[in-house]
Amino acid sequence: MAEKELILISHGTMAEGLKASAELIMGEQEHIRTVCLLPSEGPEDFKKKFEEQTAGMNPEDLTVFADLMGGTPANVVSRMIMDGQKIHLISGMNLPLVIEWLNSQMNGMESDYLTAGKAGMVDVTEMLAKM
């Protein structure tokens, strides 16, 4: 499996916080980068920052996790995909999704990130009530 890169993109600094949380659990991660849309920025500012972070990377080795489908960060990358770039974009990022990506990289195996991200969502109160 080729060396992969992960870019976390978000409104505000959620992406940076998610990376920090993943590193708290999994250790320092050199193959995760973040691009955050700040309140003073628009789509063009975000696209410029994204292109700076991904400069020199093979788009086919790039996975992007976005915070929200339909938001500016995901929309900017979606337009890049529609323009022909072969970027793998998943929206609705969460910590289980990021950890699954990291585990797949450590194990050298492909993974079903969506299933892991969805499985990480549990109504704990409901689960405890059934015990």
Res. 2 pLDDT band, cuts 50 70 90: low
pLDDT of 69: 96
CATH of residue 46's domain is 3.40.50.510
pLDDT of 60: 85
Q: How far is CA 103 from CA 1, 54, 74, 98, 129, in A?
A: 13, 22, 24, 9, 31
pLDDT at 30 exceeding the cut of 70: yes
What are 66's two structure tokens? Answer: 């976005």
pLDDT at 3 exceeding the cut of 80: no
pLDDT tens sequence across 38-92: 999 999 999 999 999 999 998 888 999 999 999 999 999 999 999 999 999 999 9
pLDDT tens sequence across 80-117: 999 999 999 999 999 999 999 999 888 888 878 889 99
**Count of domains in the chain?**
1
pTM for the full model? 0.93
Domain of residue 65: give its range: 5-129
Helix (H) or strand (E) run with residue 79 in it: helix 72-82
- Angle at which helix 43-54 crosses helix 72-82, to 10 degrees, equals 60
Who has greater pLDDT, 3 or 64?
64
